[in-house]
Structure 1
């Protein structure tokens, strides 16, 4: 016996004032409703309803059971409505983890508009440049800028793409020369973004569609794009960076593209949840 279905059937019979009316409201037979209530009485070991040919009445035990059962069903309905309202209009606190550069530079521009559309939602934004355990650290979603996802157990949705490029100051290029091909980077101080301890290799697509991999080295590396931008602005070397980090520098001419004819692999912005 499905006790929950039998409980609902019992409450509907009481609310409707009889088996026939309850059965018609659910578009089932009188026999089905009667059987469910009898099974419930058998399981409980008590009679819940006094039945006659003309009327139906609750026994004392049936009255006590009905009052509690009714509260259970009403609370369940309220829980369903609360979830539906939450889905229709997000509320509560949304904990987001984002890379430092993206969280401080790019999200700062569109997050206020997002919050204005969802006034009942609070946002807790944590920015860092390390991999986090979403469940252990209590994040609802993480934003990731990566070419590939390393953890296939996570649910990831691609939201956008961001170009990756090389930049340097005009003064650095004037002093050390402007690379004409990726192979020329072997003679330059390359500022690299790293998350794993391995030799740095930059990958390019040539003008003819060929793929070119070049090993690079330099005096500075960081897992933070803002730090690489600062080093490039100081004239330390040629940096690899996401385009959104340096778009204002490029517009003002304080940084210029290096090897613009050779495209680097773009990174995807993904929303990741457990």
Structure 2
């Protein structure tokens, strides 16, 4: 990756984090942990890999993104705003009555959202259906499916993965955000996922595992996935809940954070200042 492109993606990732945190803080609480853990991934997808047109959100030749872990909607909204689908001012309406940015993505409300998600597991089937339709139309567009590791508790994920693998839907790039925490604790304590990479390989996927904050490695993994012609593909992100912001990374209960005391507000202000420095390059 050229230095100029890497700098662009680093700034985009910082912007996604800043806007996600500010939008959630305005509401007073929200899913910061899982939003921040996919900020780098979203920067690579929307900053380099995906085909889309902000002026024509329903462009037929666009790539599709299915955020199956729909509680990370703030990160997706921040990304869509950053690349021009709607004005940044919308982010201040997150989860308000009548908003176009509900807590979980809704394709009927938000420009750039391709799938309504949030009931965990269902996005996997939606992505499988989208990929099947594109294959039937002999189109070369990609579907990017982002799944949470806690979400893998849902059996529907594994039904969809079996389908994707059986039909060798290599146009559906499955990306599992392994940030190792879910609502009630660590994934290992709640329902041990064991080795997700090995599981996906056993299901028939060509699987890669990369650091979730390594923009270059994520980009290279996507490129490699696109060279696979006779097998389903999966990328496992070795990420951290609250990734990119040490204060939130170190917070024990960081799945959903409440901004309900002065210490959290002060630490958040300090974290945002660091991110703004990165955003300015």
* TM-score interval (norm. to shorter): under 0.3
Q: Which has the higher contact order (CA 8 A, sep 6+)?
A: 2
- Structure with the larger helix share: 2
> Normalising by structure 2, what TM-score?
0.23
> Normalising by structure 1, what TM-score?
0.23
- Structure with the larger strand share: 1
